[in-house]
């Protein structure tokens, strides 16, 4: 039985949309913070889909380990060091004929500190360091990766690249002790739309994922009791999220060209309590 005539235009439009979507296979990608957790899962996913992945991380040994296992390129990078970020971006851009098309920034820290500690006001250096890594580091990655992408030849859909940044649910409901962290991740969320608007004319998309509670190395040090309590606080599914689920979303963002200028919460509907 053939396809009904009325259905043929629908199938034709779907095929056309797929043709105009960004392809992962054969492209160059760079993942900052790619040596562990969300970044490692993303680097592995993009490599499995056929990208040449540059694994950039401050942990040089971790970057070499992951890159070696996925056939990628390692780069030792502190995201607050602009020349180091530029070197990683340049290495990624040179790794595939199509140029750098995918950039994911998972680099960040979550050091807690109250405004006022037992010995008085928390030193300003703590807040400066968290914001420098999480926010200014993200801006470093975004501006340098985007600058490389705008020189690419546009694909069938007119796209030259996509940058995916990482915020946190703390950007929206930060807890006590997360002033610096929430401020930095709130900044990442806030820059998403203006960056996407600026780069739209050049065919570069900008998206941000705001993860909830993920089962990353940071949580591995907690007791099973604490981990179970955190899992139970998530409405559904009542479990810690898997890094592979972050990678799932990155893959979809890359291939769905209509996703642009938005912050997506990936959190099982959790809303964090004050403490």
Kindly report the CATH number assigned to the domain that includes residue 58. 3.40.50.720
Contact criterion met (CB below 8 Å) for 213 and 219: yes
- How far apart CA 5 and CA 42 sit, in angstroms, is 41
Query: In this structure, is residue 18 part of a structural domain?
Result: no
Query: In this structure, is residue 273 part of a structural domain?
Result: no
Question: Above pLDDT 70, what percent of the chain?
Answer: 93
Which pLDDT belongs to residue 149? 98
Which pLDDT belongs to residue 7? 56
Query: In this structure, is residue 30 part of a structural domain?
Result: yes
Which pLDDT belongs to residue 5? 59
Which pLDDT belongs to residue 189? 98
Question: Which residues does the chain have with pLDDT short of 50?
Answer: 11
Give the domain extent around 123: 23-266
Query: In this structure, is residue 6 part of a structural domain?
Result: no
Query: In this structure, is residue 109 part of a structural domain?
Result: yes
Query: In this structure, is residue 17 part of a structural domain?
Result: no
Nearest to 95 by CA among 51, 140, 60: 51
Locate 126 and state its tokens. Answer: 């703590």
For residue 4, count other CB atoms closer than 10 A to its CB.
8
Query: In this structure, is residue 254 part of a structural domain?
Result: yes
Query: Among 62, 127, 133, 181, which one carries the catalytic annotation?
Result: 181
Q: Is 246 a catalytic residue?
A: no
Tell me the pTM: 0.92
Query: In this structure, is residue 251 part of a structural domain?
Result: yes
Provide the number of structural domains found in the chain: 1
Largest CA distance in the chain: 79
Which residue carries 């992962």 as its tokens?
A: 24
């Amino acid at each position: 039985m053939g396809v009904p005539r009325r259905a043929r235009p629908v199938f034709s439009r779907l095929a056309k949309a797929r043709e105009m979507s960004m392809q992962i296979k054969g492209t160059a990608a760079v993942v900052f913070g790619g040596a562990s957790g969300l970044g490692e899962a993303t680097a592995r996913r993009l490599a499995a889909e056929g990208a040449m992945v540059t694994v950039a991380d401050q942990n040089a040994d971790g970057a070499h380990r992951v890159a070696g296992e996925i056939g990628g390129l390692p780069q030792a990078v502190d995201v607050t060091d602009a020349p180091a970020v530029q070197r990683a971006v340049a290495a990624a851009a040179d790794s595939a004929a199509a140029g750098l098309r995918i950039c994911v920034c998972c680099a960040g820290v979550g050091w807690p500190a109250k405004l006022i500690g037992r010995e008085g006001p928390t030193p300003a250096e703590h807040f400066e360091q968290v914001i420098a890594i999480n926010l200014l580091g993200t801006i470093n990655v975004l501006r340098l990766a985007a600058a490389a992408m705008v020189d690419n030849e546009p694909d069938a859909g007119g796209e030259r690249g996509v940058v995916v940044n990482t915020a946190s649910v703390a950007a929206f409901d930060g807890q006590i002790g997360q002033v610096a962290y929430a401020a930095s991740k709130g900044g990442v969320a806030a820059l998403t739309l203006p960056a996407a608007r600026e780069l739209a004319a050049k065919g570069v998309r900008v998206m941000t994922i705001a993860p909830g509670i993920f089962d990353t190395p940071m949580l591995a040090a907690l007791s099973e009791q604490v981990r179970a309590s955190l899992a139970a606080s998530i409405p559904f599914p009542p479990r810690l999220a898997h890094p592979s689920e972050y990678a799932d979303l990155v893959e979809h963002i890359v291939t769905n060209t209509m996703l642009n200028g938005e912050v997506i919460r990936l959190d099982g509907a959790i809303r964090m309590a004050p403490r």
